[in-house]
Every structure is written in structure tokens, then in C-alpha cells.
Homo-oligomer: A and B are copies of this chain.
Amino acid sequence: MTDSDAQRTILDETQKLALLDETQKLALLEETQKLALLNETQTQALLDETQKLALLDETQKLALLDETQKLALMDETQKLALLDETQKLALLDETQKLAFPVGGDSKTSPVERDSKTIPTIYAITPTYTRPVQKAELTRVSQTFLHVSNFHWIVVEDTEKKTQLVSRLLTNSGLTYTHLNVKKQDKTTHRGIPQRNIGIDWILENVTRDQEGVVYFADDDNTYNLRLFEEMRTTQKVSIWPVGLVGGIRFESPILNDAGKVSSWHTMYAPDRAFAIDMAGFAVSLKYFRQQSHVRFDPKSRPGWVEPTLLVQLGLKKEDLEPRAENCSKVLVWHTKTQNPDLSSEKKLIALGKPSDPTVEV
């Protein structure tokens, strides 16, 4: 036994501890031991905020949020994606539909801005001043208001745009363009110059990268909403039956076994290249651009306006794209509104007591 061995053995435990200063004691502990020494409160106090966050797994994080906080986290796009169909429908009330911001002769609605992924339907509607004009435009605008990515091009047969149509478009909630051109030639079929400047406007103003479909939508026809989704995928020219036209229940393309148009169900001139009403076809904007000089011929007789256009477009019957379940459904009607009896109004005028002329009807 050495001297130092001898010295160690004679120290008891208490004596050994008393010999160490603090620094020495700490140096003695290995890491595992140190951890075991801490109680919970102390451990928590050691963490800074960043560390605490890093400790949580996803499930825990979610459990921490109250409802108000969750709502505050969402951006608008996400909120929209969450809704199922029933909920979306429940969200709309009358006031909202009527409350679009508006302005100017051409207006883009929020709907169009938000949905760039489907082709826009450009509907060209010629219109002229008459007692039922406001009623007809009101009713057809409510139909169009259900159609997404819809741009209404209303062309008045007037020297100047009227206040009635301007106000109606402003309040319609629709994306629209308001044009006018007065038909000068008495021999010209009504609506032809109006449709032609509508085409001009589209080809000049719609950007080339915008997919679209051109439809000639008169203000007195009746449209099933499905029609617009049928025409939306038009590649060249799509086609379908039209109800209550040409003196018969409906006119329609007749399809062959291959599902292509072979002839026409019509009483009027079935040997026309395209025996089809204005309401019965739509042209893709891309295809129209390829024959951008083509317009309706003001010299065409009624019944020959449509075929003349389609022939000019270089189309063959076989190119037509049948819609509406192989042309077996009527989704548009050639309705006509009666010119109202205003005989008593004439009497009131004669009496110097007309219906208040400041009230727009």
C-alpha cells in the first residue's frame, strides 16, 4: 500500500464530498445523469419558443386551434374549394345576385375573372326598340346570369345607344359589351348589321389566347341552361334542334349511322346546304378567326342567312358537331312575344292623360 492509497481509504463519504467545489462537481456528471436530475417545470423553462414549436407533430398542432383561429388561417381560394354543391347554392340570395358592381359600356364580372379554364361563350344579341324590349331583355338576361364564363354582346338597331338598354345592362350582373348600329337598308333582314358588328368586336377585342364560342342569341328565344354547356366545347361548328320554328314542332339535323349530319328535318327548303335556324348552331372563336373576313350577307333572304354564313366559313355538313344527345333533345325554342295591345293607351294619349312617360316599361 502506497501513502496515497492509505490516505484515500481513511476518508469517509462525507469527507469526500466536502472536498469538491462546484465546478468540479459539474464536470463529473455525464449527460444522461444530468437529464435525470431535472424536474418537469425546470425542463419546460429551458425551451425557447422556436424549440417548442419544433417539438409538435401535426396532429397535436391541429388540436391546439380554436374555431376562430382556424377560420383566420384560410385564404379565399381555399375557402371556396371546401364547399360542396349544396352549400354553394345555399349561399346565393337575391340581393347578392343583383348587387354586382358595374360601369361603362363593357363590363367584366367577377365570375369571368375567376374562371379562365373553360371557353367563354360570346352571345351576340341584336335588339330593337319596341314595347316588350325591356321585358324580353330582362328575362333573357336572367337566363344568361346562370351561365358561367358568358359574355353578352348586345347590339341595338339604333342611331345612338339607348338609356333603357344601357341601364338594363348595367344592372344585369352580366359581363357585357353594348354596341349599336342602325340598319340603313330597308331590304336587309333585321339583325344582320348588328350581328356583323358583334363579330367585328369579338375578333378585334378578344385576345388570341382566349378560347371561346360565338352564339347568335336572339332576345326573344327561350334557352334551356344545358344548351350553353353543350356548345361550350365546340371545335368548329356545333349544331342541335330548335323548337317551334319553320312552322313545325322542331327543326333538326338528321344524323346518319356514323352520327354525322346527313340531311335536315325541315319543311322550308330542306335542300339548303345548312337548313338551320340562327338559334341552332355555335361557332368556335378559333374557327371564326381562321376565316376572319366572313360575315352575314345583308342580301340573304330569311332562311338563307345562316346557310350562307356557314358555306362562307368553308364548312362541310360532315364537319358539324351534333349536340343535345345526338340532336334528340330540344334545348332552345324560337318563341315570339306578342306585340301588346296598347289601344287603351292611345285613348289615354288622346285624352291628354297618358301613362306617366317618365316610368320606364
- Chain A interfacial positions (CB closer than 8 Å to B): 4, 7-8, 10-11, 13, 15-20, 22, 24-29, 31, 33-38, 40, 42-47, 49, 51-56, 58, 60-67, 69-76, 78-100, 109-111, 113-115, 118, 131-132, 134-136, 138-139, 142-143, 145-149, 173, 222-226, 228-229, 241, 243-244, 246-250, 252, 265, 267-268, 328-330, 333-338, 340-345, 347-348, 354-356, 359-361
Contacts and interface: CB of A to CB of B under 8 A. Distances in A.
Given A342-B248, A361-B330, A110 B94 contact: no
A64 B20 CA distance: 47
B16 A24 contact: yes
Contacts of A89: 92, 96-97, 100, 109-111, 173
A243 B361 contact: yes
A337 B22 CA distance: 103
A80 B54 CA distance: 32
A344 B142 contact: no
A334 to B, nearest CB: 8
A38 B46 CA distance: 9
Contacts of A34: 34, 37-38, 42
Contacts of A71: 74, 78, 81-82
A361 B329 CA distance: 8
Given A76-B87, A115-B90, A143 B139 contact: yes
Contact of A62 (B73, B142, B143, B252): B73
B70 A355 contact: no
5 contacts: A16-B24, A38-B38, A94-B148, A132-B333, A330-B360
A250 to B, nearest CB: 5
Nearest to A67: B78
B42 A31 contact: yes
Given A53-B56, A83-B91, A90-B114, 5 more contacts: A29-B37, A79-B82, A79-B87, A89-B92, A90-B110
A74 B85 contact: no
B65 A62 contact: yes
Given A35-B42, A347-B267, A20 B22 contact: no
B78 A70 contact: yes
Nearest to A58: B69
B85 A88 contact: no
A111 B65 CA distance: 30
